[in-house]
Chains A and B, each alone.
Chain A
């Protein structure tokens, strides 16, 4: 049985992991704390982080699904603006 880590790496290699990038209003540490339980509870979310040093307070999510709208909805419900950042 492959471990979860090796499985994840293999999936990443074949681009089966989606990297979703959002511009948000998740500004402060307390905001990150607010959203942590919400994203941690999502089964499709492998890992996530917020780059608070960026002007757009980037939320970066690695997910098994391309569930952009779902993530946006979750963030909006938690009280934050969130929009997908596209190329």
Chain B
């Protein structure tokens, strides 16, 4: 009888996360993972039902961590500028601390698994964000926008800076390092764009 080993399972998960983050979800396979994690394919199937089961477990863990960090010191009744600032700082911290998880979730976003992942996630994320935005619109601190436009202005600039940072460069090999100063500079412009 093969024993389940928590440490081993953790190591396998970490390896899987890295592979998807670095090489994409399309080329990810249990065989590839087995080789990289130096275990037999049979061992992987002791811990996980199939490839989808493994990927969804990873989604759940990464998503929970992301949520936990995003909502630290955050309250949906905060003023818009204050709340968005807390979110920027928290999201930046998460991205810088867990770059593999960030890339992993990015891969999931555009894959067939995304809907299943969203279905698994805690509703509190949606509810929190929703009430934050609605409060802000009611108080006339935020223009009324579609969720896609809102997100593209409110958060995408931050994620883009982090992408440059993680690549170490931006255009034409121009060196780039993320900093609090750059973040706040961008944040002020984002705030300007979103205020009525």
Residues of A within 8 A of B (CB): 15, 18-19, 21, 49-51, 53-56, 58, 60, 66, 85-87
In the bound complex, CA of A49 to CA of B53 (Å): 11
In this complex, what residue of B is CB-closest to A51? B50
In the bound complex, CA of A55 to CA of B31 (Å): 8
B: contact size bracket: 10 to 19
**Contact status B1-A54, CB under 8 Å:** no
In the bound complex, CA of A58 to CA of B1 (Å): 19
> What are the residues of chain B within 8 A of A85 when measuring CB–CB?
40-42, 45
Residues of B within 8 A of A (CB): 1-4, 29-31, 39-43, 45-46, 49-52
**Contact status B30-A54, CB under 8 Å:** yes
> What are the residues of chain B within 8 A of A53 when measuring CB–CB?
29-30, 50-52
A and B contact pairs by CB, cutoff 8 A, 7 listed? A19-B2, A19-B45, A54-B30, A54-B50, A86-B40, A86-B42, A87-B43
In the bound complex, CA of A46 to CA of B28 (Å): 29
**Contact status B42-A21, CB under 8 Å:** yes
In this complex, what residue of A is CB-closest to B51? A53
Q: Which of A15, A21, A51 has the most CB of B within 10 A?
A: A51
